[in-house]
Amino acid sequence: MNLLYNFPMKKFLLSLLDLIYKKRCYFCKKSNDNSVFCDKCYETLYMNSVSAKDICKSVNIFCAGKYEKTMQKLIRGVKYHNQKELAFYQAKFMSEYFNKLKLNKNYQVIPVPLYKDRQKKRGYNHMELVGEEFCKLTGMKLNTKLITRIKDTKPQYRLNKTERMENLKNAFVVHSEFLEKDLDILVIDDIFTTGSTFESMIEEFNKNKIFNITCLATASAN
């Protein structure tokens, strides 16, 4: 008799646990898709046209989307609010855009590095998380050792173009021994505003005679 009663009770309890622990969308808070980023919200991300947003020192800079609404919440969630699970979706959006470019090159993926103290305080580099997922989706190789940030720069968002470049002066150093010589460089970042971070990294690469570079941001701020 106990087994007869226990089976429906067990089934009910399992269904209740599924309901309690079902994932809710970080954006609309609904649990229909049992995902932190439901299909309906993902489809609201605006994808840019397949063309370079800017060119810096002969390097094409591409931006997958626009920094607005859902995209803004996605990037800020990964970057500031420890929503590491969302890194997959940021990488997915970037990879979908990048595949449309059809550049037909083999790349090593270089996430923009954080200064060591800032990364220690935050607990992770958000772009490394995105880079890991991006490489899983594209089959590219992640390289986090080629270039490091050696200067604790000020936050860029309050600075103009000139101040940004001064802020980033001598901020990066290349370790050429970690260069995969048979692969081109793909630098990835989250937000493109004036391009100062990309420009500073490109300059450092060029100083070390590294020129086969492409840059890709998740979104453009303008």
The predicted-structure confidence for 182-217, as pLDDT tens digits, reads as follows 999 999 999 999 999 999 999 999 999 999 999 999
Q: Domains of the chain (ranges plus CATH)?
A: 1-43 (no CATH), 45-220 (3.40.50)
CB atoms near residue 219 (< 10 Å): 24
**pLDDT reading at 159 higher than 90:** no
pLDDT tens digit sequence for 29-38: 998 888 999 9
Can you give the pLDDT at residue 161? 75
For residue 9, what are the contacts with CB-CB under 8 A and spacing of at least 6? Answer: none
Q: Is 7 exposed, middle or buried (0-12, 13-18, 19+ CB in 10 A)?
A: exposed
Can you give the pLDDT at residue 163? 83
Q: Are 97 and 62 in contact (CB under 8 A)?
A: yes
Can you give the pLDDT at residue 48? 97
**pLDDT reading at 165 higher than 90:** no
**pLDDT reading at 20 higher than 70:** no
Can you give the pLDDT at residue 3? 45
Can you give the pLDDT at residue 157? 67
Can you tell me the mean pLDDT for 146-157? Answer: 84
pLDDT tens digit sequence for 71-126: 999 999 999 999 999 999 999 999 999 999 999 999 999 999 999 999 999 999 99
Q: Is 183 exposed, middle or buried (0-12, 13-18, 19+ CB in 10 A)?
A: middle
Q: Are 143 and 178 in contact (CB under 8 A)?
A: yes
What is the C-alpha separation between 198 and 171, in angstroms, rounded? 12
Q: Are 184 and 152 in contact (CB under 8 A)?
A: no
Count of positions (residues) in the chain: 222
What is the C-alpha separation between 163 and 202, in angstroms, rounded? 18
